[in-house]
Amino acid sequence: MSGRPTDPAPYYRLHVFCCTNRRADGHPRGSCAARGSEPLRDYLKQKARAAGIEDVRINAAGCLDRCELGPTMVIYPEGVWYRYETREDVDEILESHIKNGVRVGRLILRPEDGPNKEAKIA
Amino acid sequence: MSGRPTDPAPYYRLHVFCCTNRRADGHPRGSCAARGSEPLRDYLKQKARAAGIEDVRINAAGCLDRCELGPTMVIYPEGVWYRYETREDVDEILESHIKNGVRVGRLILRPEDGPNKEAKIA
């Protein structure tokens, strides 16, 4: 469990943040939106709603600062990061992780995947 | 701790999401941006950077769906929500919670503060 015994109960069972930041074309870091995150995030939201999932929020987020690896999402409270490129990736994250808590190993990002630990407040 | 023993280590020690969603003037729910969230989020980001905090990300987020209570932020992995209205509120969250892990009780939002549990995927 996250939090402390005295913290309020979670407002959402899971809170999913999909980076939808867009940088100008040609930026050396690229961006999740330039890599197609927006329609995939919309697809995940739509599929979650269609599945009747009411205790999870599928959120858009500004730059999560792992642009080079994008499109990226992070699921809290567990803090598990994914790279997702296709609707099939999104379907698997929804069915496996969001519905059943089973991590999708092939899509998980690890800290050592980078890009770095600098400029995290940028 | 959040996550499972087999999950990767956290990429950020804390991940702060400040809602910067803006709805049209006159929308019955209002919005965090209409309530002043954007300059306060910029201020928090600036102050955290000035304090040399490198293991925390201060993120912008789309609608967190607690618009009526805004401006809202949520800090993960603990999942603690705050309403902040002034620079003094932001300073206190930074000094107390972000730097020292001590919750700011007067600003915490609890699940029963609402607004509701409907439309969380919206």
Q: Which residue of B has its CA nearest to A105?
A: B7
Cβ of A78 under 8 Å from any chain B Cβ?
Answer: yes
Sheet holding A56-61, edge to edge: A108-109, A80-83, A72-76, A14-19, A56-61, B56-61, B14-19, B72-76, B80-83, B108-109
CA–CA–CA angle B56, B61, B64 (5° rounding): 115
pLDDT tens, A36-81? 999 999 999 999 999 999 999 999 999 999 999 999 999 999 999 9
For residue A39, the surrounding DSSP H or E stretch is helix A37-50
Which residues are registered as beta bridge partners of A14?
A56
Which pLDDT value is given to residue A119?
41
Cβ of A111 under 8 Å from any chain B Cβ?
Answer: yes
Q: Which residue of B has its CA nearest to A14?
A: B79
> Contact A62/B59, CB-based, under 8 Å?
yes
- How far A26 CA sits from the closest chain B CA (Å)? 23
Tell me which amino acid residue A33 is: A
Instruction: State the virtual CA torsion across B19, A98, A106, A68 in degrees, nearest 10.
Output: -10
The answer to whether the beta carbons of residues B44 and B57 sit under 8 Å apart is no
List phi, psi (to 5°) of A17: -115, 115
pLDDT tens, A4-28? 889 999 999 999 999 999 999 999 9
> Contact B2/A53, CB-based, under 8 Å?
no
